[in-house]
Chain A
Amino acid sequence: MLELKNISKTFFPGTVHEKTALDNLSLTLNEGDFVTVIGGNGAGKSTMLNAIAGTFAVDSGSIIIDGKDVTRLPEYKRATLLGRVFQDPMMGTAPTMQIQENLALAARRGKHRGLKWGITPQEEKDYYQRLKELDLGLEDRMKAKVGLLSGGQRQALTLLMAALQKPKLLLLDEHTAALDPRTAAKVLELSDKIVEENHLTTMMITHNMKDAIAHGNRLIMMDAGHVVLDISGEEKKKLTVPDLLTLFSKASGTEANDDKLLLS
């Protein structure tokens, strides 16, 4: 479903700020994979997701989504294949637009946007049902501006938006990191539900090792711009946090620093 072939990206090349964020990274995701991604700060996790989404162009290598080479496609064209939820709850929605308008925008991802009315009565009914399933009371506030919602409500809405047009790949970039623990758990639960119901191929970055172990069928660990650990199936199910720390120190060749992994 996703194939990253030797992608590299260096920011600010030739300056004192030069930073190799992705270093010959290769990764293949099978259809239906739910991969959790962990790694220290600056390991390249977000950079990898942004490279896939096309926020910037990679220096070398190729990115193939669902058999289609998207390496040279601009961000808005790749969006057709992707669903994204960001770390910052402000980033995934249009604050000055209504809840239902945001949903209607997402429902037209990858479709021609012409001079037909932006939202149909049929859609409104559909969105009412879907919002009701979220159980956040949003179904009664469909005409409210999204800017009035809390961070958790926004992330839930963004998740719903990401799945309205079934994406080939769902990218979750630490989408619970800015939320309080209870809301984070709820949003995570919702993510699981949406991924399962729609059989989405998913990549989820998290700083929480427990979450990384508890969710998905596969876990990868990144360090210095490439994948240093790739665990799936039964092996992943048996994994514990101390295991992960040991594996990390072995894989990266440095002493595992709990703070770096857990608290950053």
Chain B
Amino acid sequence: MAFLASLLNALPGAAAQGLVWGIMAIGVYITFRVLDVADLTVDGSIATGGAVAVMLIRGGMNCWLALLCAFVSGLLAGLVTGLFHTKCGIPAILAGILTQLALYSVNLRIMGGKANQPVGVDKYHLAVSQRYVRDLSLENPLPLLLVATVIVVVALYWFFGTERGCSVRATGANANMARAQGINTNANIVLGLMLSNGLVALSGGLLAQFQGAADVGMGRGAIVIGLAAVIISEVTFGKIFRNFGLKMFAVSLGAVIYYFVLQVVLQLGLNTNDLKLVSALIVAIFLSVPYWKGKVAHKKGGPRHA
């Protein structure tokens, strides 16, 4: 009973974390599924977003404006990876790793050489804070995060329905076809990487406010969480959600499920130091499910060998 009670107690926090990371996961969805590019910039750009937002708020900027700046910092990070990839011919994965590595130094610079910069909710007005996650008040971050997620999904749904957005989708679906139809695939890859990392950094800005600090290491393993959310959403909702907008929303739900699972595991007695191990295992399991399912179906459907 005590186990259940403490689990229930932890759920609002997990849901909020999931929604914050969900925005990042939608960014990962854009590169991983729409553009068909594995972008590892994410681990760096999420911390960049956090650092930019926190430092600007500490400097007296409005928290919403600071989030906008975090978004722009992510656009720039994506631009760098995009140019490495398209203009310098560096494979996408490596281009992302290079930017991610470089961002570590950049992030330390932004944070004034410190590995951690706090932004207390008592001292500053913040958009979201985990302190109020169980409060029944306007300060509660859950409704706000839900609205933010819906806005992001609607905006992306609109964009990917436009002429330009369609051409980005075509670039990911079949680059050969896209070029044959006069689409500048390189420009679209850069655009997609920018958009993706913009969202990732926005999520970083929210995360830093939520937990009350920006940390230079806050992005470590972020790409794994993003991929986890994408894959969990596909395994769980793949058959129900066909619409593009719903698919993106499902990615956010995927992140929430991820944090629920994580919470359960923590309640079972593992500590936070084990989180990365648990994260990796969760992703491995959800990645394996479709594969195993396929194998079982094959055995059932296929001819039987005596």
Contact = CB atoms under 8 A, between A and B. Distances in A.
Contacts of B176: 86, 91
A94 B178 contact: yes
Interface string B149-185: 0000000000101111111011001101111111111
Given A101-B166, A104-B166, A95 B174 contact: yes
Contacts of B166: 97, 101, 104-105, 113, 118-119
Contacts of B182: 76-77, 79-80, 108-111
Nearest to B242: A145
If over half of B's interface residues share one DSSP class (helix, strand or loop), that class is named, otherwise mixed; here it is: helix
Interface string A71-110: 0001111011010101000111111110001001110111
A115 B163 contact: yes
Contacts of A91: 174, 176-177
A255 B62 CA distance: 82
A113 B167 contact: yes
A53 interface: yes
Interface in B211-228: none
A108 B174 contact: no
A263 B147 CA distance: 63
A110 B184 CA distance: 11
B32 to A, nearest CB: 14
Contacts, number: 84
B123 to A, nearest CB: 41
A83 B181 CA distance: 8
Contacts of A14: none
Interface string B124-160: 0000000000000000000000000000000000010
Contacts of A94: 169-170, 173-174, 177-178
Interface range for A: 20 to 34
A53 B182 CA distance: 11
Contacts of A110: 182
A116 B174 contact: no
A161 interface: yes
Contacts of B163: 108, 113-118
A113 B164 contact: yes
Contacts of A84: 180
B162 A76 contact: no
Contacts of B178: 76, 94, 105
Nearest to A88: B176
A111 B181 CA distance: 10
A90 B138 CA distance: 53
A115 B164 contact: yes
Nearest to A107: B181
A115 B160 CA distance: 9
B183 to A, nearest CB: 6
Given A115-B164, A118-B162, A53 B174 contact: no
Contact of A105 (B161, B183, B185): B183
A86 B179 CA distance: 13
A91 B178 CA distance: 10
A97 B170 contact: yes
Interface of A: 53, 74-77, 79-80, 82, 84, 86, 90-97, 101, 104-106, 108-111, 113-119, 161
Given A77-B182, A97-B170, A101-B169, 14 more contacts: A53-B180, A90-B174, A92-B177, A94-B177, A104-B166, A105-B170, A108-B163, A108-B167, A109-B181, A109-B182, A113-B166, A113-B167, A115-B159, A118-B163
14 contacts: A75-B179, A76-B178, A76-B179, A79-B183, A82-B180, A92-B177, A93-B174, A94-B178, A96-B173, A104-B166, A105-B170, A108-B163, A115-B159, A118-B161
